[in-house]
Amino acid sequence: HAPATMTGDEIVALSRQHTIFEWSAQGAVDPIPVDRAKGVYFWTPEGKRFLDFNSQLMCVNIGHGDPRVVMAIQEQAAKLPYANPFMATEVRARLGAKLAAITPGDIDCFFFTNGGAEANENAIKAARWYTGRHKILARYRSYHGATAGTITLTGDPRRWAAEPGIPGVVHVPDPYHGIQRGWDPVDDALARLEEVIQLEGAHTIAGFIIEPVTGTNGILVPPDGYLQGVRALCDKYGILLIADEVMSGFGRTGEWFAVDHWGVVPDILTMAKGLTSAYVPLGAVGLRRKVADHFRDKVFAGGLTYNSHPLACAAALATIAVYEEDGLVARARQMGEVMAGLLADLAARHVSVGAVRSIGLFGIAELIRNRQTREPMAPFNGTSPEMAALSRFFRHEGLYTFVRWNTFFANPPLCITDAELREGFEIIDRGLAAADAAVA
Ligand code: PLP
């Protein structure tokens, strides 16, 4: 590869001067300058190595720099980098067919977008057209994107700055209520949902959008029966179930899609991130046959200049081939068992660890500062000196992962080896010593 021509400090300074970093006051950002990446590692221009324990933004599922995907992108770029979305290309045709084969049930027709938010925007439009109803239910502990519609669907505090948002979105509570209150029994959670449906009027509700395993808001793995119960309620009231698998899809949980763990087939399934492992931006909306059939004689009133972008379709086909050739979905399941053991070990040995959760290579730890009250180490939507110190420690030690509120994540690329996984947990183990000292 070509050597960097700017230093890390120069890259950061010029980026800060002329570009906007997301979700931040610009005076406070402190980005890591990144020059190159391979496998589970990335490097700064000065050669400092980071173990990528978050697959960047939970998206580089196959790992960095896979030559099979790079070559597919190069070949497509040389042949046909772009054709407008009214055209049909071979990569578009083959990707639609491939996704029909790996997505659950009779989901077999796809609308391609640039990313997750646009996929969710088009999913709610499709649900509204299909049902002739206007409301969309979403949950509070969720993130669905940052466009006008999807930030309204989003339940977490990132929604607040965009309010009032689009009309017709109603939030319902999750079965999880934080480290102190824990989980509702499945029957209670479903009864609460059904009550909201009745109070809102089922005949006004087009869809219910959920992350089947909630990502950024806590790797919330639903108790068995919850998703099946949600599916049954949606069927009972004629509401479309929209599964947002932007983060949980493509092997992250140890199945192609998270819903596969519970045998639930949503009416609409959205994806992005792992679809191309982020080598090129791409999202998609998958429709069950009955929903797709609606658009045989009704207009699908959505479009994007970059819909079915050939470069992105080629990247997705090559990425899916890597999952298959390397058995990465099964690997996520196997390494997920190793990671669950390592997380349990942290919980057993560190008083600051109040809970750990994982499914496949989708994991999190919640820290607490009091063993009796289980007060979180940082408040809802906030931080604390201890969490900030943990974040600084990880960065200093060359471990890259998300630290959010009272939690930190473990979402490495699915190609991670046993030794690389243990390397990350060894750093975490040392980092938690300071957090333990703060526990009452
Ligand atoms: N949905 C979920 C569950 C996500 O995690 C994300 C991104 O983090 C999105 C939607 C939005 O995707 P994008 O950032 O590609 O628009």
Q: Are 114 and 304 in contact, with CB atoms under 8 Å apart?
A: yes
Does the beta carbon of 117 lie inside 6 Å of ligand 1?
yes
Same domain, 397 and 308: no
Q: Whose CA is nearest to atom 1 of ligand 1?
A: 144
Instruction: Quote the number of domains for the chain.
Output: 2
262 and 365 both lie in a single domain: no
In a shared domain, residues 78 and 133: yes
- Number of neighbouring beta carbons within 10 Å of residue 182: 11
Chain length of the chain = 440
| 179 bridge partner residues | none
Alpha helices in 245-301 (DSSP H): 289-294
pLDDT for 2? 75
249 and 136 fall within a common domain: yes
Question: Which of 325, 348, 367 marks a domain boundary?
Answer: 325
Given a contact cutoff of 8 angstroms between Cβ atoms, the answer to whether 330 and 412 are in contact is: no
- 166 within a domain of the structure (yes/no): yes
Tell the burial category of 123 from Cβ atoms under 10 Å away from its Cβ (0-12, 13-18, 19+): buried
What b-and-e string marks burial along 306-330, b requiring 16 or more CB atoms within 10 Å of the CB? bbbbbbbbbbbbbbbebbeebebbe
Question: Residue 10 domain-assigned?
Answer: no
273 SS3 class = helix
- Separation between Cα atoms, residue 239 and residue 340, nearest integer Å: 35
User: Do 400 and 297 share a structural domain?
Assistant: no
Q: Both 233 and 163 in a single domain?
A: yes
Candidates 245, 320, 276, 209; CA nearest to 56 is 276
Instruction: Tell me the CA–centroid distance for residue 374 and ligand 1, in Å.
Output: 30
Buried b / exposed e over 60-79, threshold 16 CB at 10 Å, is bbbbbbbeebeebbeebeee
pTM equals 0.98
Q: Which of 325, 350, 379 is the last residue of a domain?
A: 325
Task: Decide: 143 and 216 in contact? Cβ < 8 Å.
Answer: yes
pLDDT of the residue at 3: 76
- Residues 201-231 as b/e (b if ≥16 CB within 10 A, e otherwise) read ebeebbbbbbbbbbbbbbbbbbeeebbebbb
Given this model, what pLDDT does residue 1 score? Answer: 72
Q: Is the CB of 247 under 6 A from ligand 1?
A: yes
The rounded Å distance from CA 433 to ligand 1 centre is: 33
292 and 389 inside one domain: no
| Same domain membership, residue 302 and residue 353 | no
Cα 144 to ligand 1 centroid, rounded to whole Å: 5
CB 289 within 8 A of CB 109: yes
- 3-class state of residue 209 by DSSP: strand
Q: Kindly report the CA angle at 222 between 165 and 382, in degrees rounded to 5?
A: 50
* Half-sphere exposure at residue 155, Cβ-oriented, CA atoms within 13 angstroms: 21
CATH code, domain with 102: 3.40.640.10
Tell whether 4 is covered by a domain: no
Residues 187 and 53 in one domain: no
| CA–CA distance, 30 with 26 (Å, rounded to integer) | 9
Alpha carbon distance 435, 377 (integer Å): 8
Best residue among 143, 174, 209 to mutate for probing ligand 1's pocket (most ligand atoms within 8 Å of CB) is 143
**Edge-to-edge, what's the strand order for the sheet holding 36-38?**
36-38, 41-43, 49-52, 399-400
Residue 419 sits in a domain whose CATH number is 3.90.1150.10
Q: Which helix H or strand E contains 359, and what residues bound it?
A: strand 353-359
pLDDT of amino acid 20: 98
* 22 falls within a domain: no
CA of 145 from ligand 1 middle (Å) equals 5
Helix/strand/coil (H/E/C) assignment for every residue in 28-62 = HCCCCCCCEEEECEEECCCCCEEEECCHHHHCCCC
Same domain, 167 and 278: yes
Question: Is residue 3 included in any domain, yes or no?
Answer: no
Q: Is 59 in the pocket of ligand 1 (CB under 6 A)?
A: no
- Residues facing 410 on adjacent strands: 363
pLDDT tens, the chain, 440 aa long: 777 799 999 999 999 999 999 999 999 999 999 999 999 999 999 999 999 999 999 999 999 999 999 999 999 999 999 999 999 999 999 999 999 999 999 999 999 999 999 999 999 999 999 999 999 999 999 999 999 999 999 999 999 999 999 999 999 999 999 999 999 999 999 999 999 999 999 999 999 999 999 999 999 999 999 999 999 999 999 999 999 999 999 999 999 999 999 999 999 999 999 999 999 999 999 999 999 999 999 999 999 999 999 999 999 999 999 999 999 999 999 999 999 999 999 999 999 999 999 999 999 999 999 999 999 999 999 999 999 999 999 999 999 999 999 999 999 999 999 999 999 999 999 999 999 999 99
The CA-based dihedral angle spanning residues 110, 297, 300, 271, taken in that order and rounded to the nearest 10 degrees: -20
Report d(CA 47, CA 11) in Å as an integer.
14
Residue 215 Cβ < 6 Å to ligand 1 = yes
Between the alpha carbon of residue 413 and those of residues 74, 232, 259, the distances in Å are 23, 34, 20
Domain assignment of residue 292, yes or no: yes
Domain interval for residue 225: 67-325
Would the CB of 272 count as within 6 Å of ligand 1? Answer: yes
Instruction: Judge whether 203 lies within some domain.
Output: yes
* ipTM of the complex in this document: 0.99
5 domain-assigned = no
- Ligand 1 atom 12: the closest Cα is on which residue? 116
**Residues 72, 134: one domain?**
yes
Domain boundary among 290, 325, 360: 325
Tokens of 127: 């649900």
Q: Same structural domain for residues 144 and 286?
A: yes
